[in-house]
Structure 1
Amino acid sequence: MIEPITPTTPRPVRRAVLTQWWRDLAILHWPVAPHLVAPLLPPGTTPDTRGGVTYAGLIAFEMDRVGPGFGVPFFGRFPEINVRLYSVDGQGRRGVVFCSLEAARLAPVMVGRALGLNYRWARMRMTRTSSGVWKHSSRRIGGSPGRCRLAVEPHDEVADDDLTHWLTDRWGLHVRRVGRSLYVPNEHPPWRIQTASLLELDETLITAAGLSVDSGAPVSVVYASGVPVRFGMPRPV
């Protein structure tokens, strides 16, 4: 049985092995056929679907205060952009799967790759204006070339629709590491997701990650100012 979508984690993290802040998130999504996503997921997981489709996400934000569970920040604050999919395992745990992750700081890229995540070191710039949040990324090393330039304008209105909850109320990630599929739980307080307008988008990260989505505008564009996050010990799938 697949677990329900809930605003807080159904699996509280008793002992955090990693803590971080996510700040100024621009969250974009496109529908995609599940059979196109399935080959990209770790063994033991399948695409999580809603109304017969699943989704590919492009999430641009600033990572801050990344450190071990006792809260010592050693990676500082840096931009990140990731392409992610939605998964469910045999125990019914919903999660996300990262196809690619761009980060502007080399040290966390190396640590992330050692943990089985497809991090790439990128040249990135993030600037804020009075009406939007701008983000830019272009890869420096490794993998297929990719770029992303986007701008969103957050609104005061809360995004409280079912699709937004389905996409953002996620309490773990599925990853393949050293031949094993793992589930890594996370938790954070309920966060405020706002509606947003997409002002600009020019990206090739989704196709570079091996995905094909409708070339039209994303079906969901939202923004979040940020939230502190705690990750627990990996568990086998």
Structure 2
Amino acid sequence: MFGRRWLEMTWRDGLFCHWPVDPAVVDETLPEGLSVATHDGDAYLGVVAFVMDRIRPRGVPLGLSFPELNLRTYVEGPNGPGVYFYNLDADDRLGVAVARRLFALPYYRAEMSATSAGEDDTVRFRSRRTHHGVPSAGFDATYGPVGEAFAAEPGSLAAFLVENYRFYADGNRLYRGEIAHDPWTLREGTAEIRENTLFEANGFERPDDDPIVHYAEPIDVTADRLRRA
């Protein structure tokens, strides 16, 4: 997909919660050069929570580990389809500073925890944004897997929502980043969401419907340097 892979990491305890929304609502929030991507006529907003484990330059044995929480949508851009992030909250001051500087991404500091909540890989994930000068945001959910593991079929809604290997960032110009990993191993998920103010923090109305929930098995990821789109 790309040449030299700069960063290595493992993503674990992954939660994907997605809500269908009117494409026009999303399209008006996107920077120049991007347009909303749809599946069967719907755009999607997704809340994704996971732990980024052992983030390190390629070949380095030790690295940073911290939870991350983001609100995203899916777009078409000059280099193909990808993810556009409205926020990425993370519990690591150094990691947030580096990501904001090197990747032009909307990373914000937050107090976060991702802890085992019982049997069957159930996770309690909590986040409270502490970054100064931006809207407050909180998230509190318990989630876990149900059913058998599967890989998303090409062209399916699940594949549209999770199998994305490019992101776009809006700095003083449009940038793109590429990641690489094996296809996700998914299970249908269940989530009890007690708090979620990410929509309001980013200027959206919170959907009334229940989300589409997927639980993701741990996966090893590599990432390239940010490049101009």
Instruction: Provide TM-score, normalisation by structure 2.
Output: 0.90
In 2, the alpha carbon distance for the partners of 1:198 and 1:104 equals 22
Check 1:140–1:32 CA distance in 2 against 1; reply closer, same or farther (3 A cut): same
Q: In 1, are the aligned partners of 2:163 and 2:184 still within 8 Å (CA)?
A: no
In 2, the alpha carbon distance for the partners of 1:182 and 1:14 equals 17
Aligned letter for 1:141?
H
Name the counterpart of 1:228: 220
Counterparts in 2 of 1:137-216, with a 5 A limit?
A: 137-142=127-132, 143-159=134-150, 160=152, 162-177=156-171, 179-216=172-209
Q: In 2, are the aligned partners of 1:153 and 1:199 still within 8 Å (CA)?
A: no
In 2, the alpha carbon distance for the partners of 1:71 and 1:189 equals 21
> For 1:78, which of 66, 77, 95 is the aligned residue?
66
Matched residue SS, 2:3 = coil
Q: In 1, are the aligned partners of 2:83 and 2:164 still within 8 Å (CA)?
A: yes
> For 2:86, which of 74, 88, 99 is the aligned residue?
99
Name the counterpart of 1:65: 54
Q: In 1, are the aligned partners of 2:17 and 2:213 still within 8 Å (CA)?
A: yes
Aligned letter for 1:221?
V
Deviation at 1:113, TM superposition (A): 1.4
Matched residue SS, 1:125 = strand
Q: In 2, are the aligned partners of 1:15 and 1:69 still within 8 Å (CA)?
A: no
Name the counterpart of 1:127: 115
Q: Flag structure 2 segments of 5+ consecutive residues without an equivalent.
A: none
**Higher relative CO (CA 8 A, sep ≥ 6), structure 1 or 2?**
1
Name the counterpart of 2:20: 31
Matched residue SS, 1:137 = strand
Matched residue SS, 1:40 = coil
Matched residue SS, 1:42 = coil
How big is the alpha-carbon RMSD for the aligned residues of Structure 1 and Structure 2? 1.7
Q: In 2, are the aligned partners of 1:40 and 1:99 still within 8 Å (CA)?
A: no
Aligned letter for 1:232?
D
Name the counterpart of 1:4: none
Matched residue SS, 2:82 = strand
Name the counterpart of 2:11: 22
Q: In 2, are the aligned partners of 1:95 and 1:173 still within 8 Å (CA)?
A: yes
Percent identity over the alignment? 29
In 1, the alpha carbon distance for the partners of 2:6 and 2:29 equals 27
Deviation at 1:72, TM superposition (A): 4.5
Deviation at 1:144, TM superposition (A): 0.5
